[in-house]
Amino acid sequence: MVQETRRSDERAADSVVTEGEVAAYLNAHPDFLIDHPEVVARMAAPTPDRPDGVVDLQSFMVERLRSEVDRLKGQQRAIISASRANHNSQNRVHAAILFLLDARNFEQLIQTITTDLAVLLDLDVACLLIESNGQDLPQALASGIRVVDEGFVEQHLAHREALLQGDIAGSEAIFGAGAGLVRSQALVRLAISADTPPCLLALGSREPDMFHEGMRTELMSFMARVLERCIGSWLDLPA
């Protein structure tokens, strides 16, 4: 019995982690205490006034943890802010789509696009542009729409369906007299029908970061698809 107890004590002694091993592990894993703050909470912090010149780690550990908490809170606030902005944008786009669908005739639809859409989306300018070769522009589309030269849409979108840009100066060729208000823009291609020339929906804002590269374009693209169908339906055009 005594021998078994001695063997047990020897094994326990062999398994004890030395201070040097702990220090070596912490040096090799500098983020250990950040990943395991519960360990810090149970540690006995050194007193601030040590006569032997030992460095006080208490304030260091506390500051590191506070910095980490502040960083996580900042990330949380950014996520919540982005989520709210996306939710607001979604609600505005849905409301704009309902207005488009409620148009009682083609003229009201065009007025909604060129006048009401900017208000509904909390923007400053909204334009609908259609290409023309000077001969084949449908007369019904001539009122309330900006007419541009053939190839204009491809020139600005370069094979893309949508282009979002921030911190820019508005183009008079796109926004006309409202170009001076534009500091960011969203350009969306419209393919109304195989029988109609390319069109462009241009949205502009005085806020430099309202639109910018890297933003998701699903909502704008969805609104553009609805707009294509509304125009095609009122003009009785094939899809």
Mapped onto helix, strand or coil, the DSSP state of residue 144 is: coil
The reply to whether the predicted model has a pTM over 0.75 is: no
Query: What percentage of the chain has pLDDT greater than the value 90?
Result: 23
Instruction: Report CA dihedral (52, 53, 54, 59) to the nearest 10 degrees.
Output: 130
For residue 102, pLDDT over 80 is answered with yes
Cα distance between residue 210 and residue 37, in whole Å: 40
Beta bridge partners of 200: 129, 189
Task: Enumerate long-range contacts of 63-68, CB under 8 Å, 24 or more apart.
Answer: 64/33, 64/34, 65/33, 65/34, 65/37, 65/40, 68/34
Q: Are 156 and 164 in contact (CB under 8 A)?
A: no
Q: Looking at domain 104-234, which of 3.30.930.10, 1.10.1200.10, 3.30.450.40, 3.40.50.720 is its CATH number?
A: 3.30.450.40
Instruction: Report CA dihedral (114, 119, 125, 128) to the nearest 10 degrees.
Output: -30
Confidence of residue 2 (pLDDT cuts 50, 70, 90): very low
For residue 141, pLDDT over 60 is answered with no
Nearest to 193 by CA among 146, 140, 116: 140
Residues with Cβ < 8 Å from 20, sequence gap 6 or more? none
- What residue segments make up the domains of the chain, in order of their start? 17-102, 104-234
Confidence of residue 152 (pLDDT cuts 50, 70, 90): very high
Residue pLDDT, tens place only, 154-206: 999 988 899 999 999 999 999 988 899 999 999 999 988 887 888 999 999 99
* Phi/psi at 32 (5° precision): -60, -45
Positive or negative: CA dihedral 145, 151, 154, 157: negative
Residue pLDDT, tens place only, 41-58: 566 655 555 555 555 666
Instruction: Report CA dihedral (6, 8, 10, 16) to the nearest 10 degrees.
Output: -150
